[in-house]
Structure 1
Amino acid sequence: MSKISPLVAAILNDQYDLATLLLRYNAKVDQIGPLNRTALHESAFLGLENFVYLLLESGANPNASDIKQKTPLALAAQNGHLNVVEVLIQKGAHVWCESESGTILFDAAASGNPDIISLLLDHGADPNVPLYSGHLPIHRVAYHGHILALEHLIPVTKLNAVKESGMSPLHSAAAGGHAQCVEMLLKAGYDPNFMLHPRVRRNYDDERRSALFFAVSNNDLQCTRLLLDAGAMVNQDPMNCLQVALRQGNYELINTLLKSGANVNYYSRVNTNHFPSALQYALKDEVMLRMILNHGYDVKRCFDCPYGDSSHDYPPWTNSVIKDMVFCEVITVAWLKHLSAQVVRIMLDYTDHVSFCTKLKDTLEEQKQWPEICHIQRNARSLKHLCRLQIREHLSRLRLRAPVFISFLPLPPRLKDYLRYKEYDVFSQGSNA
């Protein structure tokens, strides 16, 4: 392993006069030390402009490469040392050099210094050279939230280079949680529905595609709203964005997605139940439960048990059992059965008469809500409730997913509210309280 030279030791200890003396007595200005770095590398890394100038005047090579192929310019740029970058460029440092971590412009994107970015671009640095992973400098500044640097890179980054990278800087900005960057990119014309290329998606277990998914995964309401307002489609990812929001329990985020048409009747790709998967995250929370029911959740699937009044005898453990777990099996497990009657009672607000299989009925009979459930089941539902069910049925669940459809109906506001189950909108009632 190379030892630190006296010249580098003088620099690291900020001994300018000693460094000058060593150079006067013919100290090797480009002597290689640890990591194959020269004295100029160390000075540039630390941003020591006076030492950099001294070394260059003494004949130091401005384009020497260390063990990772980084030049002094790359080290100065990545650490945001503008004055050192200026001196190195003036003395012949190449702006187009590449190291294991990418171009010098990509290194500069880490610090996000807009003046360094601008200087490198003015001297011919190419913003469209990707890292081996496909990332461009614009992706890096967007992820780190360097808004001024992003402003410099947007006009010079080619859309074809972005497409070839397989990811949009919107993905990066949303992943980093930087709403200002998201907004700037949207205003610049970046597509909110640009999907990750399959080779990029493979890096994520959930195979996410959209920038919206990154925002929702971060529980980031501001970025989510910006993307949705710009036209981001809400049901494009293999794992539904609504599922992520429900799992996090963020009411505002859930409400925002629902009002933008999130599909409440999605089925999870893993361990698919016989009923839409959104319910499993809302069983313990009436606010979330009412939110999905108000937006057209298919309640009937929950009472669609193939065993009915007969004994619930199951076949041996097979894939078909895992993929088609019925509601009565889920809600009657030991740690959920105490919720069963409350959940069923709420569901009855969104249905006509339903039939209970023996397994579900046996569990419900043990709960305090059972008399009320029996009363509802024995008596005819009100005509206005039945009319509401019929109208909502004719609207179809696709239209119920986007509440704006109901607003276009030629009906009085109070009737529209009734169709939307406004009296059961616990979330809005709590927000206005």
Structure 2
Amino acid sequence: MATEVSAQGSAHWHEEYSLYSSLSEEEQVQLAIEQSLADKTRGPTEATAPTRTNQQPAHFYPWTRSAVPPEPPPARAPMGLFQGVMQKYNSSLFKSSQLAAMDPVLKAIKEGNEEALKVMIKDGKNLAEPNKEGWLPLHEAAYYGQLGCLKVLQQAYPGAIDQRTLQEETALYLATCREHLDCLLSLLQAGAEPDISNKSRETPLYKGADINTQASDSASALYEACKNEHEDVAEFLLSQGADANRANKDGLLPLHIASKKGNYRCTVSCFSVWQRDLVKSKINTKALLGARFDVNAPLAPERARLYEDRRSSALYFAVVNNNVRATELLLGAGADPNRDVISPLLVAIRHGCLRTMRLLLDHGADIDAYVATHPTAFPATIMFAMKCLSLLKFLMDLGCDGEACFSCRYGNGPHPPAPPRAGRFHDAPAEDKAPGAVQFCEFLSAPEVSRWAGPIIDVLLDYVGNVQLCSRLKEHIDSFEDWAVIKEKAEPPRPLAHLCRLRVRKAIGKYRIKLLDTLPLPGRLIRYLKYENTQ
């Protein structure tokens, strides 16, 4: 008996603690003050009773409330915070102690007693009447997963199949949330509507069928499976059509996180799906080309004007998006690489994609392309490749014209001062700007390029004959002591072997320079013509 009372007191203490923990610090201080004052006014008789020292009055505990008749309530004094809390606490205990008898309908459903339900229906009891929360017995059967009871109620009340609770939840929604698949199938077969949403705008389809649902950080179920290395789950999601190309908010795909974790199975599974989607994209492009779409059909002028570069061809879009496969397909179908205002080759140079550059050049892209809207006295391909000397040498090896870089209209004479850089608020007026095309030496004077002037000139001199350096280029070379050798290299006459090489390459032509290997010449000479020698 003592153990029983002790356990009951412990339960009471935990409930009282959880009640006080919801109060703020100020309320708890006030409560303590009021409780101490109440203890003082109670008097010493209660506190010093010989056999009831730590025992509350019989009616205080809920398990003795029914055994001892309640005392008549005294005159009610103004309640403080402590008395209010205790009264609320006592009332909640009293309510919990008197458990109401379970409803016979709910009891039958919980026990799966189909026969009891049939008897109730036969006796005329209305089982389509909602309770105070709006729940029907049909909702209860779906919630508890009692398929037999659910079918009995469906047959008896077919019109209640989509009726909603006060939270606007249908029986189908409840079966989905509780993962009772057999009840879910039965409701769907009976014609339950899967698109009815609850108050939170959640439908049964949303709760149980969207395999690509993303969380607040845009992570999909597949991403989480790969992150946590749940290999079987990842493979199952992929088999059910999960999108392997859905990135999270950081732009990471399931393939990225699987590779980062070093999980071989997840990586292979995600990669195979990604590769399949890539092939599908390629097939779609092939299908369009196979349907005889004009591969050179331009973009409508009003649409092209929306782009600053005035792009108009499908090939340009493929190169801008760095889509090498689409570029290859379009060029193979006859796309013209020289139709746009800005050559796709210039875009490929900006991206530094050698494979795209080779594709474009192999299909006739002009290696000496210019930009009509920004005229220069030298090829724009050289201008775009200046910041990467290896890329510049690659273009020069394929026949780009370097002679134009040394054809300055000012020669050895004085050059006009370099125009000030256009600022946000101080732009030079149109009449003060130098007319005509921009010279190579003028472009080389830009602050972001001038520090590379010596190496750039050095590379270009390997692909030109006897040229004259203008006074501006000499200034650039003289600005750095180690560049003096470049100035000596430019002095005529150039080596005879070098001049012969230039003559042979010019005779072959820039569009056939890749055919040098087919010439009936010794291998050493072929390598010299292709600039493959190291001297």
TM category, shorter: 0.5 to 0.7
Q: Which residue of structure 1 aligns with residue 100 of structure 2?
A: none
Q: CA deviation at 1:344?
A: 0.8
Tell me the distance in 2 between the aligned counterparts of 1:53 and 1:185: 37
Q: Which residue of structure 2 aligns with residue 318 of structure 1?
A: 430
Give the counterpart letter for 1:318 in structure 2.
Answer: A
Pick one of 311, 332, 340 that aligns with 2:453: 340
Q: Which residue of structure 1 aligns with residue 389 of structure 2?
A: 286
Task: Answer yes or no: is the 8 Å Cα contact 1:273–1:325 preserved in 2.
Answer: yes
Task: Answer yes or no: is the 8 Å Cα contact 1:271–1:323 preserved in 2.
Answer: no
Q: Which residue of structure 1 aligns with residue 280 of structure 2?
A: 181
Give the counterpart letter for 1:333 in structure 2.
Answer: A
**Residues 217 and 292 (structure 1 numbering): CA distance in 2 closer, same or farther, change over 3 Å?**
same
Give the counterpart letter for 2:345 in structure 1.
Answer: L
Q: Deviations over 1:42-101 (max 9, x none)?
A: 999xx9976764444444468999xxxxx99999998689xxxxxxxxxxxxxxxxxxxx
Task: Answer yes or no: is the 8 Å Cα contact 1:179–1:223 preserved in 2.
Answer: no
**Residues 410 and 313 (structure 1 numbering): CA distance in 2 closer, same or farther, change over 3 Å?**
same
Q: Which residue of structure 1 aligns with residue 69 of structure 2?
A: none
Structure 1: runs of 5+ lacking an equivalent: 66-70, 82-111, 117-140, 145-175, 426-433
**Residues 377 and 31 (structure 1 numbering): CA distance in 2 closer, same or farther, change over 3 Å?**
same
**Residues 181 and 327 (structure 1 numbering): CA distance in 2 closer, same or farther, change over 3 Å?**
same
Tell me the distance in 1 between the aligned counterparts of 2:276 and 2:387: 29
Give the counterpart letter for 2:457 in structure 1.
Answer: V
Q: Please, what is the CA RMSD of the aligned residues?
A: 5.4
Give the counterpart letter for 2:393 in structure 1.
Answer: R
Tell me the distance in 1 between the aligned counterparts of 2:498 and 2:332: 34
Q: Which residue of structure 1 aligns with residue 487 of structure 2?
A: 374
Task: Answer yes or no: is the 8 Å Cα contact 2:477–2:484 preserved in 1.
Answer: no
**Residues 339 and 62 (structure 1 numbering): CA distance in 2 closer, same or farther, change over 3 Å?**
closer
Tell me the distance in 2 between the aligned counterparts of 1:236 and 1:421: 31
Tell me the distance in 1 between the aligned counterparts of 2:238 and 2:296: 28
Aligned sequence identity (%)? 29
Aligned pairs for 1:51-62 (under 5 A) are: 53-60=185-192
Task: Answer yes or no: is the 8 Å Cα contact 2:296–2:336 preserved in 1.
Answer: no
Tell me the distance in 2 between the aligned counterparts of 1:42 and 1:271: 67
Computing the radius of gyration from Cα coordinates, the structure with the larger value is 2
Q: CA deviation at 1:328?
A: 1.0
Partner-residue secondary structure (3-state), 2:289: coil
Tell me the distance in 2 between the aligned counterparts of 1:255 and 1:335: 28
Aligned pairs for 1:6-405 (under 5 A) are: 17=146, 20=150, 26-27=159-160, 29=162, 53-60=185-192, 179-185=278-284, 190=289, 193=295, 195=297, 197-198=299-300, 205-209=308-312, 212-221=315-324, 224=327, 233-268=336-371, 271-313=374-416, 317-318=429-430, 321=434, 324-368=437-481, 370-397=483-510, 399-400=511-512, 403-405=513-515
Q: Deviations over 1:112-140 (max 9, x none)?
A: 99999xxxxxxxxxxxxxxxxxxxxxxxx
Structure 2: runs of 5+ lacking an equivalent: 1-133, 198-202, 214-236, 247-274, 420-427
Tell me the distance in 2 between the aligned counterparts of 1:285 and 1:179: 31
> Is 1:422 the counterpart of 2:532 in the alignment?
yes
Q: TM-score if structure 1 supplies the norm length?
A: 0.55
Count of residue pairs brought into register by the alignment = 325
Give the counterpart letter for 1:420 in structure 2.
Answer: K
Tell me the distance in 2 between the aligned counterparts of 1:322 and 1:209: 29
Tell me the distance in 1 between the aligned counterparts of 2:382 and 2:464: 16
Q: Which residue of structure 1 aligns with residue 124 of structure 2?
A: none
Q: CA deviation at 1:360?
A: 1.9
Of structures 1 and 2, the one with the larger relative CO (CA 8 A, separation 6+) is: 1
